Structures are given as C-alpha cells and as structure tokens.
Amino acid sequence: MTSSMDAILQVTDKTKLPQHVGIIMDGNGRWAQAKGKERVQGHYAGAKRVKPILKLAKRLKIKYLSVYAFSIENWLRPSFEVSFIMNLIKDYLQELRQEMIDEGVFFNFMGRRENLSKAVIKEIELTKEATKNNNTITLNLCINYGGRAELADAFKAMLQNNVKPEDVTEELISKYLYCPEVPDADLIIRTGGDMRVSNFLLWRSAYSELYFTETYWPDFSDEEFCDAVWSFMNRERRFGKTGDQVKKK
C-alpha cells in the first residue's frame, strides 16, 4: 500500500514496533472552517478516520491504540459543539460495536464518568461488555479525560486505601491509573500543527516518542500513520543510557 507500510511489514523483529500508540486527534474544527463548513462537520469527518486507523493499527500488530476524543478542558467549548461531539461518540459506539466484536477489538474507556450523559455511559458499558473477551487490539477511547485529573484520581484512591507514604512507588502509582493494564505509550502522534501534549497521558508519556504533523485529523491518512510508526522504529530509545550502551544490549 505504501512504502513505509511495506517496510514495517517486512521487519522481522516485532519488538521494534510501538506496543502502545496514542493519538491527539486535533484540527477537526479548523479543517471544517478551511472548507467553509461548520466546525461540527469537522468532528463528524474526524470520527470517520478512527475506524481505518484502528484497522491499520491492528494489521501492523500494534496492541494498544489510545485516541483523545474529548478532554476535560473541552467542556469550555460552545454548548452546541459539546452536545454534537457527545452524540457523535454515542452514535459511533452504536455503529461500530458489532464490527469491534468481529475484529477482535477490546474497547476501553479512559476518563471520568462525571458530567457524561447516561446515554453515553450506557453505550460505553455495552461496548466494553460486548468486547471483553477480545484481545487482538485494545482501543482506549479517552473521553472527559485529562492527564492531571487521572493522577489526582489515582492519588485520591491511594489515600482512600490508606496507602502509607513509604509504600508509594512509581509502580504502585501506575496501578491506580485509569485502565492500569495499559502500558506506557511508546509513540504519541499529534495532528493539526500544534506541538504540545495538551494534558494527554502525562504519566504514561514519560518516555514516549513524539510525532507532530501539520495535517488536520480528518486528512490524516493511513500512509502518514505508517510514516509515524516507521519514524518511531528508526529512532534510538535510550531511556537514560548512552547510545553505546543501547547498541551493546
């Protein structure tokens, strides 16, 4: 399909692949405005891009895909736009639930339930239950999510469980995060031209490789996703060590 995809598929050492890819799906509204459309049409077009990227991630043997659909800060947007996005999420889960079941996709929700409508929560629970036995790839849908909120909720839970200060470790904190079974993000992709992480996966992104692109999310192609993955696979990840130490491993 693409040169980068061909290169990825030909790699025999699958440990070079990112296990967990996070995507900040930015630029939907600006994509619509650039085309003379209402901002909400950009969100609709953006939702349509999740399915093919998920299928591609599955084909590439990526195990976890986390998509930033709605941040805690996004509640500050115009109420009409917020309502449209929430209905879009609900419709998306209804539309793709059976396909996720058939494709072996396990669906995960990552975020706070408070402020979400009963209708959205219902679709989240139905989809998670329907896909609970799937293990080909995990889709983490981040709704009403914030990295700082995730850490605050983790610390609250630790206090409620009477965790002693001397028992607090990085490993223990990880166990109190949303969906603690989800590993750190290897690669975080941000579309739309901005070069920041915007409160996304703060704990899990400590050593993530970052890929920024000017492309608005609705135009983010399969080819560019492969380019991002290929870029990751050709980077040297040192985790505090020297390059020589990594090469000797």
Summarised one tens digit per residue, pLDDT across range 176-207 is 999 999 999 999 999 999 999 999 999 999 99
Q: Is residue 167 part of a domain?
A: no
Calculate the average pLDDT of the chain. 95
Domain housing 101:
17-146+186-235
Residue 144 appears among annotated catalytic residues: no
Catalytic residue among 26, 108, 186, 227: 26
Residue 227 appears among annotated catalytic residues: no
Catalytic residue among 74, 87, 134, 199: 74
Q: Is residue 120 part of a domain?
A: yes
Q: Is residue 7 part of a domain?
A: no
Q: How confident is the model at residue 3 (pLDDT cuts 50, 70, 90)?
A: confident
Q: How confident is the model at residue 100 (pLDDT cuts 50, 70, 90)?
A: very high
Instruction: Answer whether residue 107 shows pLDDT above 50.
Output: yes
Q: Is residue 248 part of a domain?
A: no
Task: Give me the number of domains the chain comprises.
Answer: 1
* Domain containing residue 225: CATH number: 3.40.1180.10
Q: What pLDDT score does 2 carry?
A: 54
Q: Is residue 181 part of a domain?
A: no
Of 110, 116, 113, 248, the C-alpha closest to 181 is: 110
- Report the chain's terminal Cα–Cα distance, integer Å: 33
C-alpha–C-alpha distance, residues 74 and 176, integer Å: 24
- Residue 211 corresponds to which amino acid? Y
Q: Is residue 74 part of a domain?
A: yes
pTM of the model as a whole:
0.94
Q: Is residue 159 part of a domain?
A: no
The Cα angle at residue 150 between residues 26 and 53, in degrees rounded to 5: 35
Helices (H), 1-71: 3-10, 28-34, 39-59
> What are 210's strand-pairing partners?
188
Instruction: Answer whether residue 242 shows pLDDT above 90.
Output: no
Q: Is residue 27 part of a domain?
A: yes
Please write the tens of the pLDDT for every residue from 231-240: 999 998 877 7
